[in-house]
């Protein structure tokens, strides 16, 4: 079986959108932490397309518009029915004549002279949507995700922004969907609580959830994932490596990163034990991390960040790596994953 054929397609929620089970997270194309050239960004996207990936996720925040520009430049060269594109609302970009483009801003090494401002209102979401179309240079966005709403991002201002979205912004999503300008609506967040909360507002087709259902974390099995199934919402699973530790492991000289910070001792210990099982069955840790979430019926696709053409090809190889059922059974026997966690290959 070829690598491209191993990447199947699943439907998003109750829509007609079919996305590749391995997708492309495009934060790196906004120069996340380090700069890459336009040429490398283009090669990276073309390599992903060649592997059978059709879902591309970007956002205005990623490089303050740079990721959207780069993604659009490549998708414009292929047929509109050959890709599914998601981008995000909740921040509006405005020109900043004083922008210091010589250093990281919001974690991005970007030359784009803009700043980002939270806005979950009707007008803010509509402006963000149409601005994104202009940056992308495309006539369609398939999935529109509300970015970083919730307590984890906003703290004491959470109620303010939620009310703004509830009383104003959600109407914009509904209008865009009803008019056929977008095919699906959802959130793009790092927490499950806000997803459960917005299900009370109306119908959400999907949630892009980063890091909260992985080889290291399965709390979502208790409440969130069953609620998604009942609601009819699919999961676009971001952060399958939990910010890196499930890609690098813990054996190297570098400090392993978990949830964007140095990993605490208990997490390092758990990953070391998972690595021992990987060694026993000759399984790549990163392959197990990529493949594990997709066993849950609510998860439609997993979208790791991809920052080079070589990484695109390597990721699809990891995605296609054969992993024996006994590997998953051993993880359960050693209580390294939950007993009720679905695993790949289960009937």
CA 290/CA 147 separation, integer angstroms = 23
Residues 6 or more apart in contact with residue 8 via CB below 8 angstroms? 20, 21
Structure tokens at 198: 């917005």
Cβ atoms of 205 and 161 closer than 8 Å: no
HEC string of 278-294? HHHHCCCHHHHHHHHHH
Residues marked active site are found at 57, 62, 88
In the chain, the N- to C-terminal Cα span, in Å, equals 21
Identify the burial level of 174 via C-beta atoms within 10 angstroms of its C-beta, where 0-12 means exposed, 13-18 middle and 19 or more buried.
Answer: middle
Number of H helices, E strands in the chain: 14, 14
Identify the burial level of 179 via C-beta atoms within 10 angstroms of its C-beta, where 0-12 means exposed, 13-18 middle and 19 or more buried.
Answer: exposed
Cβ atoms of 243 and 260 closer than 8 Å: yes
∠ Cα 187 192 193 (to 5°): 100
Cβ atoms of 48 and 24 closer than 8 Å: yes
With CA atoms as reference, report the closest residue to 232 among 200, 209, 208, 204. 204
């Amino acid at each position: 079986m070829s690598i491209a054929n191993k990447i199947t397609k699943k439907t998003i929620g109750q829509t007609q959108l079919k996305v590749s089970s391995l997708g492309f997270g495009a934060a790196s194309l906004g120069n996340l932490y380090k700069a890459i050239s336009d040429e490398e960004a283009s090669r990276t996207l073309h390599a992903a397309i060649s592997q059978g990936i059709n879902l591309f996720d970007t956002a205005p925040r990623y490089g303050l518009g740079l990721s959207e520009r780069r993604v659009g430049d490549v998708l414009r060269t292929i047929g509109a029915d050959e890709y599914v594109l998601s981008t995000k609302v909740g921040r509006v970009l405005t020109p900043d004549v004083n922008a210091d483009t010589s250093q990281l801003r919001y974690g991005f090494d970007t030359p784009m002279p803009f700043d980002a401002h939270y806005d979950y209102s009707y007008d803010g979401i509509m402006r963000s949507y149409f601005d994104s179309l202009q940056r992308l240079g495309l006539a369609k966005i398939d999935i529109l995700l509300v970015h970083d709403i919730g307590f984890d991002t906003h703290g004491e201002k959470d109620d303010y922004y939620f009310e703004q979205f509830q009383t104003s912004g959600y109407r914009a999503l509904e209008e865009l969907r009803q008019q056929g300008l977008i095919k699906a609506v959802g959130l793009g967040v790092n927490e499950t609580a806000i997803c459960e909360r917005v299900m009370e507002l109306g119908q959400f087709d999907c949630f892009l959830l980063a890091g909260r259902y992985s080889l290291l974390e399965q709390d979502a099995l208790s409440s969130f994932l069953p609620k998604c199934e009942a609601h009819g919402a699919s999961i676009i699973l971001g952060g399958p490596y939990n910010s890196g530790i499930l890609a690098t492991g813990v054996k190297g000289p570098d400090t392993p990163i978990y949830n964007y910070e140095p990993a605490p001792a208990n997490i390092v210990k758990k990953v070391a034990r998972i690595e021992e099982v990987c060694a026993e069955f000759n399984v790549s840790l990163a392959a197990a991390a990529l493949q594990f979430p997709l066993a849950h019926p609510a998860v439609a696709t997993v979208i790791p960040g991809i920052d080079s053409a070589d990484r695109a090809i390597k990721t699809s190889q990891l995605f296609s790596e054969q992993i024996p059922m006994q590997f998953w059974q051993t993880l359960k026997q050693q209580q390294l994953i939950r007993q009720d966690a679905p695993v790949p290959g289960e009937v």
